[in-house]
Amino acid sequence: MEQHVLDIQEGFNFRDIGGYETKDGQIIKLHKAVRSGMLYNLNQHDLDYLNDYGVRVDIDFRSKEEQESFPDKVPTAAKYISDPVFPADETNSTEKAQLRKKAFLEDPNAGYKNMIQSYKDIVLAPSAHKAYRLFFDELLANTNEDEAVLFHCTAGKDRTGMGAVYLMSILGVPFEIIRKDYLSSNKHLIINQQNKQEMYKDLGEVFLKNIEALTMVCDEYLDTALNIIKNEYGSIVKYLEDVIKVTPEQQKDLKKIYLINR
């Protein structure tokens, strides 16, 4: 499975979802949809590169607190869109942060359980429904050739990962490829994971296990979301139709915009 990783020096997990083949033999166009981690650390080379690459929209799935703490460096030709998947009051308030730290010090499964709940919320939370609706609105407006929508969260693996799952599902990419693309974040984030482990090494093995759960993706996280979708709606595409309101006509439009014949 060939991936198109962008030449970014100070960011991580920047990759074009173009190049994947659909079930009916079409190909996702390059320079149309880019997934990534946050843009806070980008240098001038990175910003110039993204401009030249065609990035014209920067969709930020992070909470307001995350956006304010680590604001995006936006390529000059791109418009910035704040599009939080989770509302600000459900992120790290001081009280919640203290409770989470205590749990992470004592319960080796706290990080895993936190991630499982996050994936349930990605599917079920009204804020997530609103965020992914706006995401698809921007994808549908991206009609110029070689102009790209970049969508991201902090690490580019969970909120961003589900955005990629949704888009590639509508475009008709085989699900085994979608899953591999989702799981490959672990490879692209290995340096970030190592840095986190070094940062928290003095807090003990239980805490480090929980940090590992937070900084990786796995089949169980994705399957948590998929099982809810399957049980409630039957399929990802039906969920997107019924909940995110991506109509069959809009699905056809997305295929026209993002696919090309081999």
Query: Which residues form the domain of 194?
Result: 4-261
pLDDT score, position 108: 83
CATH of the domain at 215: 3.90.190.10
pLDDT above 70 covers a percentage of the chain that reads 91
pLDDT score, position 98: 55
Q: What is the mean pLDDT of residues 243-249?
A: 98
pLDDT score, position 204: 76
Quick: pLDDT tens for 155-179.
Answer: 999 999 999 999 999 999 999 999 9
DSSP the chain: ---EE---SS----EE-TTPBPTTSEEEPSSSEEEES-STT--HHHHHHHHHHTEEEEEE-S-HHHHHHS-----TTPEEEE--SS-GGGS--HHHHHHHHHHHHH-TTHHHHHHHHHHHHHHH-HHHHHHHHHHHHHHHH--STT-EEEEE-SSSSSHHHHHHHHHHHHHT--HHHHHHHHHTHHHHTHHHHHHHHHHTGGG-HHHHHHHHHHT---HHHHHHHHHHHHHHHSSHHHHHHHTS---HHHHHHHHHHHEEE-
Quick: pLDDT tens for 190-224.
Answer: 776 666 766 676 777 888 888 888 889 999 999 99
Q: Is the pLDDT of residue 260 over 60?
A: yes
- Count of domains for the chain: 1
pLDDT score, position 90: 45
Q: What is the mean pLDDT of residues 12-21?
A: 97
Q: What is the mean pLDDT of residues 245-260?
A: 98
pLDDT score, position 210: 87
pLDDT score, position 262: 84
Quick: pLDDT tens for 75-111.
Answer: 999 999 999 999 864 434 444 555 567 788 878 889 8
pLDDT above 90 covers a percentage of the chain that reads 77
**Averaged pLDDT of the chain:** 92
